[in-house]
Structure 1
Amino acid sequence: MLSVPYGDWFEHVLPFWELRDEPNVLFLKYEDLKKDLKKSVAQIRTFLEKPITEDQLDDICKGSTFQKMKENPKANPDLFDWTPGKDWKKPTGKHIQFLRKGQVGDWKNLFTVAQSERFDEIYNDKLKGTGLTFQFE
């Protein structure tokens, strides 16, 4: 299981993916935002049916860069140290930022070969037949 403090990642994402064609659901991937932020923000604008000027679109993009979001405590709150099995609601004193590096593919710096292989097994099993894919680099 790939866990976050609120449960299995796949159990969180796949129900939203199944609703991706509903008119009130917009499914965005971080990798797409990183690849073309302006296109993604324009997609959000269209989804929300919110008329904005090109200047406003540019301002939104400037304020939505990873660096700007990381500097904003409302977008990058301090988190608790959390380890599966522990009471994750109790702070341990260890400072953890919600936003880390903002780099697609940084997992390669964190996973061992064995962890990467295990993730691939789980990823392929859980996403098989869903049509959901991710760019890992």
Structure 2
Amino acid sequence: MPRISIEAPVVGMGLDPKGTLATPPVDDPALVGWYQDGPSPGEAGTSLLVGHRDTRTGPAIFLNLNILNPGDIVNVVRADHRIAQFTVDAVKTYKKEAFPDAEVYGNKAGRPELRVITCGGTFDKKKGYASNVVVFAHLTGVKSV
């Protein structure tokens, strides 16, 4: 994500025991998780990337995710050594108790899309963050590394 100077390793993730999207280990704040049971970035459907905003030890990889704007670029280097380039359509913040699963995880446009998700909103030491920040983006190109 050139605008916010993010370059990070990506690791496959699944669902946690509660059936929600798992996150990278909190002891590795520079790691990004990809929902490996869904499409890989650039394939048809909605690909999901998730990472922490911060941890007990300080800032994490998606600290500034909320400052992305429509038109910004997100590049993902794929396992086939090609770069899937996505253009940001929107950045939205949702209260966790009102998280719109169908809007975030769905794909109404029928094109390769990307969602990048982290925590956001107000923070409570006992409950954590009240919201999630979601970047909505669509594939605009694929190029060789």
TM-score range, shorter chain: under 0.3
The answer to which structure, 1 or 2, has the higher relative contact order (CA under 8 A, 6+ apart) is 2
Larger Rg: 1
Q: TM-score, normalised by structure 1?
A: 0.26
Higher strand share: 2
Q: So what's the TM-score if we normalise by structure 2? A: 0.25
